Structure 1
Amino acid sequence: MRITSHKANQLLSLALKVLVVSAAVYFIWYKITSDEKMNLQQFLEILFKYRVFSITNILILCALTFFNWYFEILKWQTLSSSVRRQSFKSAMRESLASFTAAIFTPSRIGEYGAKCLYYARSNWRKIIFLNFMGNMAQLFATYFFGIAGLLFLITSLDLPLPLINVVLVSGLLISPFLIYWIMKKFRIRLKGYSIQRLEDSFFNVPENIRWNTLIYASARYLIFTHQFYFLLLVFQVEVSYPLLIAAVFSTYILASIIPTMIIFDALIKGGFAVWIFGLLDVPQIVILSIVLTVWILNFAIPGVFGSYFVLKYKKTRPVKA
């Protein structure tokens, strides 16, 4: 009877892993081939036109993608060290597998549950908080550089911005801080969690881990934004560095405001990027091509690699802290 039950569990586990991987691969392929603003043929034609596939360009783009994920994995290795010590390889397995599981879930919710599977049940609550902390560090870096980019663009360009747009964007930018203040002021709980409890959990994490997490998040942010900048150079966009990088920073902060699934990340960024770079007279087709290229490099390819770790996952007895 136990043998039958064990085999049934194995089959169920295999079916779930195949389902997750199939869904992830399907979503990635769907995104690449079904963009209404630019079909796959147009995308490939413009990549060949600007020699994106030259050896030098491929090496630089792949190196930037590698270091982007290197710091993401290092960030998780650092955070999870407060639960147990683990190798970079183990942190890579957990990061990529959970990323694949999160591709088709809103706001990367699936990432939280997937990472928990690698730890003892008694540590799940802490793992969820640590993952949340890592995402908040990334969001902080996005806001820090993004607000600087927006201010630079506004002060450098004579922009005909309607008052309603200014109010709307300003409201969206300050909304997280406003929500934070309201929840703390009125002691509002979200699924049993209060702001005070989150703050206590934050300060219970060693200070060196908190600072290293923020440093790795900032390094990662600067890498993938400069990957975007490098592609602008490849596509022969002749605008000064300060304006271009400010536009990139602005694109990422505006896109971060809207919660979405990873699969629609390029769509959201593409919309904001077309609007912002339109102020610099950069052609729409160029921007859409860059956004999709960055998405493939930093989301699609890691998602495919993560599929391997999802399929290799075995439910073992986790090592406790």
Structure 2
Amino acid sequence: MRITSHKANQFFSLALKILVVLAAVSFIWYKVTNDETMDFDQFVNMLDQYRIFSFTNIVILVLFTIFNWYFEILKWQNLSSHVRENTFRAATRESLASFTAAIFTPSRIGEYGAKCLYYTRAAWRKVIFLNFLGNMAQLFATYFFGIVGLLFLITKLDLPLPVFNAILVIGLLLAPFILYIIMKKFKIRLKGYSVRRLEESFHKVSKEIRWKTILFASLRFLIFTHQFYFLLVQFKIDVSYPLLISAVFSTYILASIIPTMIIFDAFIKGGFGVWIFGFLQVPQIIVLTIVLTVWILNFGLPGLAGSYYVLRYKKAKHAVA
């Protein structure tokens, strides 16, 4: 009976891993070939027309992606050190596998559960909190640079509805604080944590880990936004660097407001990107092409890479409850 039960568990484990990988690959393929905002053939033609497929451009774009994920992995290695000493290789496995599991789940919920599988059951609450802390650090970096970008655009461009834009920026600035006050007053729980519990858990993490997390999140943000900027330059957009990079920052902060599944990330960014870059007279087709290209590089390829780790996942000794 014990042998039969073990074989059944192995079968269901393999079936689950295959299901996760097939779902992730299917979502990525659907996104690339059935984008809601542009035709796939048109997308390929745009890349070919502007020689984005040149060897030099491909190398530079891939390097941007590698450094982006290098700092994401470093961020998780740094955070997970609060639970146990983690190697870069192990952090890579945990980060990519959990990312693949998160592709088809709302607000990346699957990422939390997948990371827990690499740790003992007793450490799960800490792992969930640390993953939440990493995501909040990334959101903080997006807000910080995004607010700077929005303020710069508003002051440098003659934008319509100035009152609306002022309210938007003020709202963005105050939103985290308002949310914090509401959650604390009404004792709203987030990821199973109350605000008080989150504060206690936050202070238990060393200052060194917290500051490194902010640093790695900021470096990541600057890397993938400059990947976006690099593509704008390759598409011959003749606009000054401060205006272009501010528009990129603004696109990311506006897109971060709406919680969504990773698969729809490009659709959300594309909508805001078309609006923001429209003020700089950047053609819609170019914005949509760049958004989808950046999505493939930073979400599609890592998602496929993570499939390898999902299929190779075995319940290690350190993960046994």
- How high is the TM-score relative to the length of structure 1? 0.96
SS at match of 2:259: coil
Is 2:260 aligned against 1:260?
Answer: yes
User: 2:126 is matched with which residue?
Assistant: 126
- C-alpha displacement of 1:290: 0.2
* Letter paired with 2:9: N
8 Å Cα contact 2:150-2:169 kept in structure 1: no
8 Å Cα contact 2:18-2:311 kept in structure 1: yes
Q: 1:192 to 1:57 in 2, by over 3 A?
A: closer
8 Å Cα contact 1:173-1:257 kept in structure 2: no
User: 2:156 is matched with which residue?
Assistant: 156
Is 2:220 aligned against 1:220?
Answer: yes
CA–CA separation in structure 2 for the residues paired with 1:23 and 1:221: 28
8 Å Cα contact 1:103-1:263 kept in structure 2: yes
Moved more, 218-227 or 171-180: 171-180
Note the alpha carbon deviations across 1:208-241, whole angstroms, 9 max, x for none: 0001011000001000000000000000000000
Q: Give the 5 Å matches for 1:239-318.
A: 239-318=239-318
Q: 1:191 to 1:309 in 2, by over 3 A?
A: closer
CA–CA separation in structure 1 for the residues paired with 2:272 and 2:190: 30
User: 1:22 is matched with which residue?
Assistant: 22
- C-alpha displacement of 1:175: 2.6
- C-alpha displacement of 1:184: 2.3
8 Å Cα contact 1:27-1:263 kept in structure 2: yes
- C-alpha displacement of 1:171: 3.4
CA–CA separation in structure 1 for the residues paired with 2:170 and 2:33: 35
* Letter paired with 1:181: I
8 Å Cα contact 2:21-2:311 kept in structure 1: yes
Note the alpha carbon deviations across 1:35-94, whole angstroms, 9 max, x for none: 232111000000000000111111110101000000000000000011111210000000
User: 2:102 is matched with which residue?
Assistant: 102
User: 1:9 is matched with which residue?
Assistant: 9
CA–CA separation in structure 2 for the residues paired with 1:144 and 1:127: 26
* Letter paired with 1:93: R
CA–CA separation in structure 1 for the residues paired with 2:164 and 2:156: 20
- C-alpha displacement of 1:193: 2.5
CA–CA separation in structure 2 for the residues paired with 1:128 and 1:190: 11
Q: Give the 5 Å matches for 1:30-45.
A: 30-45=30-45
CA–CA separation in structure 2 for the residues paired with 1:112 and 1:32: 26
User: 2:86 is matched with which residue?
Assistant: 86
- C-alpha displacement of 1:174: 3.1
User: 2:147 is matched with which residue?
Assistant: 147
SS at match of 1:318: helix
CA–CA separation in structure 1 for the residues paired with 2:17 and 2:231: 35
8 Å Cα contact 2:151-2:169 kept in structure 1: no
- C-alpha displacement of 1:169: 6.2
CA–CA separation in structure 2 for the residues paired with 1:252 and 1:119: 32
- How high is the TM-score relative to the length of structure 2? 0.96
Q: 1:86 to 1:193 in 2, by over 3 A?
A: closer
8 Å Cα contact 2:154-2:165 kept in structure 1: no
Is 2:192 aligned against 1:195?
Answer: no
8 Å Cα contact 2:138-2:218 kept in structure 1: yes
SS at match of 1:141: helix
User: 1:69 is matched with which residue?
Assistant: 69
For the aligned residue pairs, the C-alpha RMSD in angstroms reads 1.5
CA–CA separation in structure 1 for the residues paired with 2:71 and 2:292: 22
Note the alpha carbon deviations across 1:242-288, whole angstroms, 9 max, x for none: 00000000000000000000000000000000000000000000000
CA–CA separation in structure 1 for the residues paired with 2:170 and 2:22: 40
* Letter paired with 2:141: A
- C-alpha displacement of 1:315: 1.3
CA–CA separation in structure 2 for the residues paired with 1:177 and 1:95: 29
CA–CA separation in structure 2 for the residues paired with 1:157 and 1:166: 13
CA–CA separation in structure 1 for the residues paired with 2:148 and 2:168: 18
- C-alpha displacement of 1:168: 5.3
Note the alpha carbon deviations across 1:116-137, whole angstroms, 9 max, x for none: 0000000000000000000000
Note the alpha carbon deviations across 1:2-39, whole angstroms, 9 max, x for none: 11111100000000000000000000000011123211
8 Å Cα contact 2:147-2:169 kept in structure 1: no
SS at match of 2:317: coil
CA–CA separation in structure 2 for the residues paired with 1:191 and 1:73: 22
- C-alpha displacement of 1:188: 4.0
Report the number of matched residues. 320
Is 2:46 aligned against 1:46?
Answer: yes
Q: 1:188 to 1:13 in 2, by over 3 A?
A: closer
